[in-house]
Structure 1
Amino acid sequence: MEYNWKIRKKANEERVEALSSEINVNPTLANILVNRGVDTFQKAKDFFRPDLDKLHDPFLMKDMDKAVNRLKSAIENEEKIMVYGDYDVDGTTSVALFYGFLKQFYDQVSFYIPDRYKEGYGISDKGIQFAADNNFKLIVALDCGIKAIEKVAFATELGVDFIICDHHTPGEEIPKAIAVLDPKRKDCSYPYQELSGCGVGFKLIQAYSEFTGMDPAGLIGFLDLLAISIAADIVPITGENRILTFYGLERINNNPRPGIRALILASKIEKEIEISDIVFKIGPRINASGRIEHAKASVELLIAKDLEDALRRAALVEDVNATRKNFDENITKEALSMIRKMDETKQFKSTVLFKEDWHKGVIGIVASRCIEEFYRPTIILTESNNKATGSARSVYDFDIYEAISECSDLLEQFGGHKYAAGLTLSVDNVVAFQEKFEQVVCSRIETIHMMPVMEIDDEILLDQINYKFYNILKQMAPFGPGNPEPIFCANDVYAENVKVLKDKHLRFNIVQDGQQTRPTCIAFGLADKLKYEDDTYFKMLNGKMRFNIAFDIRENTFRNTSSLQLYVKDIKFD
């Protein structure tokens, strides 16, 4: 896929020079920091040295006092409490965190995850009825509920109270629950809006601990779950999330709970866990149960008390994940074939596909796979409970949630974010929705949205690449949205010692005039493109033609010898 390179503008020169001097880093690194809002000594200190004491006061969140008082009242009166969460990673980690916290000192608590296929997303009538029938007086809903106006009213009629902990964008009306915790509420002045659903749940247990005089150190054991939720839900790793992720990763790498340890073993990760390992290995395994069978299995794994039990549960999750991969692969092939046939008659600017027998659990993954091949806003729909239900994924800087909102007259339910959303509609409305969504996208989308963007932090010379430079880069982790791993470009270089690895990957050194450093580059998957799809292009690389290269910098250790390598993101010949 061809990328549009977007090199960030240079930050204010005086500010860069001042920061470079204040924290003793070179101007290139100072420029990156200033561009990310780290433009003073104090901000740099907070950035490089995250501190749990810098977490915001949870009582700054709207309704937090009401939530804590209702929770305390339920416990004092020995009421049954239901911990209710969504079936994705954020939801299941939220439930494991909140249930695990209460279970330490309170027995009258159970958890409930809705069935993706029988109940659908969010709070369900079935879940509420189950609570009422089994004498639960309080439901704490995590990672869902912000638009559950009618569901909360139904629960109130049955004598069941709600505390909602959500992080999705509210509608015009807020549910009439006992407390609605959501930093995105317009009337909420909480200083940080980008918490995950699990993060909002964590703020509630933080507030409860403070209010009741519990030892705050007891909360550290839940940060592994919180880091996984932040990484897997693709929320910004900035501000408060950066602090929580930093210490959550520390917990995962040094003292993970048995369930997470079992997932690491199942994933065959034999190095320090990074955000990318959670996104691509651990998260999908937690997600698999909810996609294919029932997410209750993932919660049971995450709250397992010993490694033996966790390993047994992780093996079951691994089997389900293998099934998920098979569904994913087959449906993706079918979807791509449908898109190619569509494009034979018209060049669309959006993709909306519907097939009644596609597996609901993998349609979000399929939407992302389709974007990798056909770069445009994509919605994949299937039939569930006599409705068309779907997952939407977007492209660079295009707000798919707003585009779907313009089609709300054809929908029964929708929700989500700028880059990902879910929706439900009548099967009879699918064709009309396809047509209207295409019209909306055509009216909103701009040229910049139609090609994937490679955001490059700065152009550098090869002699800048050394261990002093790399060691400071490494301290900028954890990387993720809002704080991506820095990508650099080097211009007017040529390749030497080009080798093809496993018929898929390339390894070569690059040379730049006037520079002594000739770093090794690894280009995963690029051999297929350069060698087999376009032999001329491969000859250009192998024939020492000049090109520009985009890359990030990593350390490679082989036979106890470490060296820096460039991981190639893209190559552009003149």
Structure 2
Amino acid sequence: MSPTNWHILETVEPPTWLVAKVGKFAARLLSQRGIFEPEQVDAFLYTEAYQPTSAFAFPEMQQAIARIQKAYEQGETIAIWGDFDADGITATSVLWEGLGQFFTQGDRLVFYIPDRLKESHGISIRGLDDLQSQCESIGKSVNLIITCDTGSTSLEAINYANELGIDVIVTDHHTLHDERPHVVAIINPRYLNSEHPLFHLSGVAVAYKLMEALYETLPEIPQQPLEDLLDLVAIGLVADLVQLTGDCRYLAQKGIEVLRQKKRLGVRMLLEQCKRVGDRPIDISFGIAPRINAVSRIWGDVRKCVELLTTRDEKVCKSLIDQTELANTQRKALQKRVFKQVQGKIEQLDLSTTGIIILADPQWSVGVLGLVAGQVVAEYGRPTILCTVEDGIAKGSARSLEGINLYELLKGQEHLLLSFGGHPLAGGLSFALENLQVLAEAIDQRFWSQYGQLQSKAITIDLEVKIADLNKDLFNEFKQLEPFGMGNPTPKLLVRNCEFVDISNANIRTHKGQKVEYIKTEFTLSDRQGNQIHGDWWGHYSYELPDTACDVVIELVDNAFRKRYDVRLLDIYAQSAPLKSEESTLASNSIKKHNPNLKIIDLRGHGQLEQELEATICDRCPTSWHDLNMLIEQAAQSDQALALVYPNPEKINGAIAWQTLVGIAKYLSRTGKEIKRSQLIAKLGIEDQSVLQLGFEELRQYGYVVEIVHNESNDQLDDPQISISSVAADHLSTQSSTQSSTITKQFIQAANEILFQQQFFDRQLISLNEHDR
């Protein structure tokens, strides 16, 4: 049983004309997503049928254009202030090329992007001084700063710029400060209604709309078509994971059309480097964007990235491409190392009482903390803040999950923060390290009061299909609906009653054949009719796949390297093993014999009973038809209800059982207390002695001493106390660590097998209960 909640969307039967237009499955998807009127469908599918929104829909666009026009007429110097992620880099490039049609680059037009490893997002006083020095070196003084993808909350720095006699125009898309900055104009879609077609624009898209308005105002000046900038817009939009609806979707569609043409030298060479065609959003998200982002994450300074995207010199471009590839390789290794270190710190936490994970370490590189925080959110289902520390200042990145607004949780803690900005799901921040504990307690308390509980992992399933449906025709149906992203998610497909065969682990290698420390499991998914399709499961080992029939959630992907269509595994719901003939007989007898008036009281997962029940107590989930049959017979003979008081097996898996066991070991070793075997079983949900022994062996490998304490009293013989204490584990050898890792895998696999059985028979009991109603 998957620990993730599956939400299967109701099948919507689309109109016949829509099926004829886009195909059965694509028509169902569009109908589910509320797109089924002819005009809606055409506007969604075809850019020529969509009416883009005027750039002057932004309330202060007129003021911004007037100020730029004044700068043009009076020979002033403009500085572009960008940001160091892919959205900010492409936004800077859009303004660099767009404004470069009106102002001479390197003379009346310069740009500044903070160094990621030395500075924070946004405008800074230090950066303004550096910019002034940069301009003075070429005999210029800045008259106007135009920001892109930043600046909405940089109030103090903007006031400083005003004192220096510099006007500021902000173009941004991040959450607004309560106080409006003192600027000539602020172009930010957050000022618009959330239903406005421009509301979800990213930084590069806002910068493009500024250029659109300028081109419209002074159409006789530009020599380069405005549309040539759209490939940059597509890269920034897809990389920044904004909601691809309204003008966002339109600009991404148009941008991918331009991207496919590969007119831009840097884009063409990036696509060649990562062996991608450039006709799909994943060519950006898995090819171009990681390489652009890696430069700032590893080296900090991203000015060369703007040059890469705008140069027409092939020799320069090739050198810059090599640098981005090197940075991306280093980024992968650094990210993996930091994630392991973060996991080590998380093991020291009590996750049952931790709402927000917040950790700091001076050894962590700030460049990869956002990526690692995202991994932690995906792995542990907690909003996460990770920081590095320098000179007593913690600086880092925050990531959250859908439904938990991390920005609002942090917004009330301004008195503890030196800086903070971002979105509900992501942000950057800094604070004095001495405030770490009080900050963690404050946001954790607010989390529990606002959300009340930890959110279960959930996955929304769009369509149920068969393996025979997973072919080129289905892929082409879905491709019509691209670009996928927030607001238009990649279709998640349910395939029932299938099995995994030809399973193997694969180490991921670079294009040069060098080993990269990532893992994936490759397999063939098969059904009883003999239909098969290849697939992979990223970040997982082969032993994690069940050897029984199962239901799976997958995505259909184009494996361009092997020239075929594969599936990417997202989640598994393992069924019970096929019934043996004698088990089938027992099952049949059980159903025949049980009292037709039997009542089942469902108290699963409620903990210890506060009062005795007039019922047959079932405190261990059955793991065989024989156990189930005996339970029903016992309740029938006693003419009693059957009370299910065992832990709910659907709320646990082998990995969770292991985390729980480690948490109990830490608690017992710290307090010197003991635990009854029955209590340990109840907490783990696992009674099997061999599985428990594997867990104890694993604890011993990590330096714990596990002892079974038998007393003379009769009540302790069958339910002994268990004592767990710790000793220094520094002496553990590499061999011991390797053996320990092997035992961990064996424990998790064995626990999953037991739990799969429990989950199956648990469902049988519940189905009996529902049937009797």
Q: TM-score, normalising length from structure 1?
A: 0.88
Q: Which amino acid aligns with 2:435?
A: N
Q: Which residue of 2 aligns with 1:20?
A: 18
Q: Using the TM superposition, give the Cα deviation of residue 557 of structure 1 relative to its aligned residue in structure 2, in angstroms.
A: 6.4
CA contact (8 A) 1:60 1:190 kept: no
Q: Using the TM superposition, give the Cα deviation of residue 384 of structure 1 relative to its aligned residue in structure 2, in angstroms.
A: 4.0
Q: Which amino acid aligns with 1:523?
A: D
Q: Distance in 2 between matches of 1:61 and 1:471?
A: 37
- Once the two structures are overlaid, the 10-residue window that deviates more, 2-11 or 411-420, is 2-11
CA contact (8 A) 1:132 1:158 kept: no
Match 1:236 to one of 211, 236, 243 = 243
Q: Which amino acid aligns with 2:97?
A: G
**What does 1:194-213 align with in structure 2 at a 5 Å threshold?**
194-213=200-219
Q: Compared with structure 1, are the counterparts of its residues 450 and 377 closer, same or farther at alpha carbon in structure 2 (3 Å cutoff)?
A: farther
Q: Distance in 1 between matches of 2:33 and 2:391?
A: 46
Q: Which amino acid aligns with 1:154?
A: Y
Q: Which amino acid aligns with 1:124?
A: S
Offset from partner CA, 1:325-381 (integer Å, 9 cap, x none): 33322222111101112238x642321001123211111112122234322111001
CA contact (8 A) 2:369 2:387 kept: yes
Structure 2: segments with no counterpart, 5+ residues: 508-519, 576-773
Q: Which amino acid aligns with 1:524?
A: W
3-state DSSP class of the match of 1:388? Answer: strand
Q: Which residue of 1 aligns with 2:4?
A: 3
Q: Distance in 2 between matches of 1:64 and 1:361?
A: 34
Q: Compared with structure 1, are the counterparts of its residues 551 and 317 closer, same or farther at alpha carbon in structure 2 (3 Å cutoff)?
A: closer
Q: Which residue of 1 aligns with 2:725?
A: none
Q: Compared with structure 1, are the counterparts of its residues 98 and 4 closer, same or farther at alpha carbon in structure 2 (3 Å cutoff)?
A: same
CA contact (8 A) 2:72 2:102 kept: no
Does 2:290 correspond to 1:284?
yes
Match 2:44 to one of 44, 47, 53 = 47
Q: Which residue of 1 aligns with 2:122?
A: 122
Q: Distance in 2 between matches of 1:216 and 1:255?
A: 20
Q: Using the TM superposition, give the Cα deviation of residue 186 of structure 1 relative to its aligned residue in structure 2, in angstroms.
A: 5.2
Q: Which residue of 1 aligns with 2:498?
A: 494
Q: Compared with structure 1, are the counterparts of its residues 557 and 58 closer, same or farther at alpha carbon in structure 2 (3 Å cutoff)?
A: closer
Match 1:146 to one of 123, 144, 152 = 152
3-state DSSP class of the match of 2:121? Answer: coil
Q: Which amino acid aligns with 1:494?
A: C
Q: Distance in 2 between matches of 1:318 and 1:46?
A: 38
- Once the two structures are overlaid, the 10-residue window that deviates more, 171-180 or 50-59, is 50-59
Q: Compared with structure 1, are the counterparts of its residues 36 and 217 closer, same or farther at alpha carbon in structure 2 (3 Å cutoff)?
A: farther
**What does 1:359-370 align with in structure 2 at a 5 Å threshold?**
359-370=365-376
Q: Which residue of 1 aligns with 2:608?
A: none
Offset from partner CA, 1:141-166 (integer Å, 9 cap, x none): 11111112222222112110011000
Offset from partner CA, 1:414-448 (integer Å, 9 cap, x none): 11112111112111111111122222223334667
CA contact (8 A) 1:19 1:41 kept: no
- Once the two structures are overlaid, the 10-residue window that deviates more, 320-329 or 389-398, is 320-329
Greater RCO, CA 8 A, separation 6+: 1
Does 2:415 correspond to 1:409?
yes
Match 1:477 to one of 473, 476, 482 = 482
Q: Distance in 1 between matches of 2:353 and 2:111?
A: 48
Q: Which residue of 2 aligns with 1:550?
A: 553
CA contact (8 A) 1:144 1:166 kept: yes
Q: Using the TM superposition, give the Cα deviation of residue 391 of structure 1 relative to its aligned residue in structure 2, in angstroms.
A: 0.5
Offset from partner CA, 1:38-89 (integer Å, 9 cap, x none): 1211111111112397221101111101111111110111101101101111
Q: Which residue of 2 aligns with 1:29?
A: 26
Q: Which residue of 2 aligns with 1:113?
A: 113
Which structure has the greater CA radius of gyration? Answer: 2
CA contact (8 A) 1:124 1:151 kept: yes
Q: Distance in 1 between matches of 2:230 and 2:49?
A: 11
Q: Using the TM superposition, give the Cα deviation of residue 552 of structure 1 relative to its aligned residue in structure 2, in angstroms.
A: 2.3
3-state DSSP class of the match of 1:290? Answer: helix
Does 2:524 correspond to 1:508?
yes
Does 2:328 correspond to 1:321?
yes
**What does 1:404-553 align with in structure 2 at a 5 Å threshold?**
404-445=410-451, 449-451=455-457, 453-462=458-467, 464-465=469-470, 467-491=472-496, 493-495=497-499, 497-500=501-504, 502=506, 504-511=520-527, 518-525=531-538, 528=541, 530-531=542-543, 533=544, 538-540=546-548, 545=549, 547-553=550-556
Q: Which amino acid aligns with 2:383?
A: P
- Once the two structures are overlaid, the 10-residue window that deviates more, 386-395 or 331-340, is 386-395
Q: Using the TM superposition, give the Cα deviation of residue 209 of structure 1 relative to its aligned residue in structure 2, in angstroms.
A: 0.4
Q: Using the TM superposition, give the Cα deviation of residue 90 of structure 1 relative to its aligned residue in structure 2, in angstroms.
A: 1.0
Q: Compared with structure 1, are the counterparts of its residues 81 and 340 closer, same or farther at alpha carbon in structure 2 (3 Å cutoff)?
A: same
Q: Distance in 2 between matches of 1:509 and 1:362?
A: 35
Q: Which residue of 2 aligns with 1:165?
A: 171
Q: Which amino acid aligns with 1:400?
A: L
Q: Distance in 1 between matches of 2:391 and 2:265?
A: 36
Q: Compared with structure 1, are the counterparts of its residues 4 and 193 closer, same or farther at alpha carbon in structure 2 (3 Å cutoff)?
A: same
Q: Distance in 1 between matches of 2:165 and 2:433?
A: 35
Q: Compared with structure 1, are the counterparts of its residues 76 and 333 closer, same or farther at alpha carbon in structure 2 (3 Å cutoff)?
A: same
Structure 1: segments with no counterpart, 5+ residues: none
Q: Compared with structure 1, are the counterparts of its residues 464 and 151 closer, same or farther at alpha carbon in structure 2 (3 Å cutoff)?
A: same
Q: Distance in 1 between matches of 2:99 and 2:463?
A: 48
CA contact (8 A) 1:381 1:391 kept: yes
3-state DSSP class of the match of 1:110? Answer: strand
CA contact (8 A) 1:90 1:230 kept: yes
Match 2:305 to one of 295, 298, 310 = 298
**What does 1:70-85 align with in structure 2 at a 5 Å threshold?**
70-85=67-82
**What does 1:246-265 align with in structure 2 at a 5 Å threshold?**
246-265=253-272
CA contact (8 A) 1:62 1:189 kept: no
Q: Distance in 1 between matches of 2:225 and 2:325?
A: 31
3-state DSSP class of the match of 1:539? Answer: coil
3-state DSSP class of the match of 1:341? Answer: coil
3-state DSSP class of the match of 1:381? Answer: strand
CA contact (8 A) 1:81 1:140 kept: yes
Does 2:61 correspond to 1:64?
yes
Q: Which amino acid aligns with 1:520?
A: I
Q: Which amino acid aligns with 2:66?
A: N
Q: Distance in 2 between matches of 1:40 and 1:217?
A: 38
Q: Which amino acid aligns with 1:374?
A: Y
CA contact (8 A) 1:382 1:388 kept: yes
Q: Compared with structure 1, are the counterparts of its residues 432 and 219 closer, same or farther at alpha carbon in structure 2 (3 Å cutoff)?
A: same
CA contact (8 A) 2:277 2:283 kept: no
Q: TM-score, normalising length from structure 2?
A: 0.67
Q: Which amino acid aligns with 1:486?
A: P
Q: Distance in 1 between matches of 2:196 and 2:25?
A: 34
Q: Compared with structure 1, are the counterparts of its residues 496 and 349 closer, same or farther at alpha carbon in structure 2 (3 Å cutoff)?
A: closer
Q: Using the TM superposition, give the Cα deviation of residue 261 of structure 1 relative to its aligned residue in structure 2, in angstroms.
A: 2.4
Q: Compared with structure 1, are the counterparts of its residues 125 and 343 closer, same or farther at alpha carbon in structure 2 (3 Å cutoff)?
A: same
CA contact (8 A) 1:84 1:111 kept: yes
Q: Which amino acid aligns with 1:483?
A: N
Offset from partner CA, 1:451-487 (integer Å, 9 cap, x none): 2x22211223455555444322111111111112211
Q: Compared with structure 1, are the counterparts of its residues 57 and 365 closer, same or farther at alpha carbon in structure 2 (3 Å cutoff)?
A: same
Offset from partner CA, 1:366-403 (integer Å, 9 cap, x none): 21222343221110011246421121111232221122
How many residues end up aligned between the 2 structures? 551
Q: Distance in 1 between matches of 2:147 and 2:23?
A: 48
CA contact (8 A) 2:383 2:401 kept: yes
Offset from partner CA, 1:180-228 (integer Å, 9 cap, x none): 0001115899642011101100000000001112479801211111111
CA contact (8 A) 2:409 2:443 kept: yes
Q: Compared with structure 1, are the counterparts of its residues 436 and 131 closer, same or farther at alpha carbon in structure 2 (3 Å cutoff)?
A: same
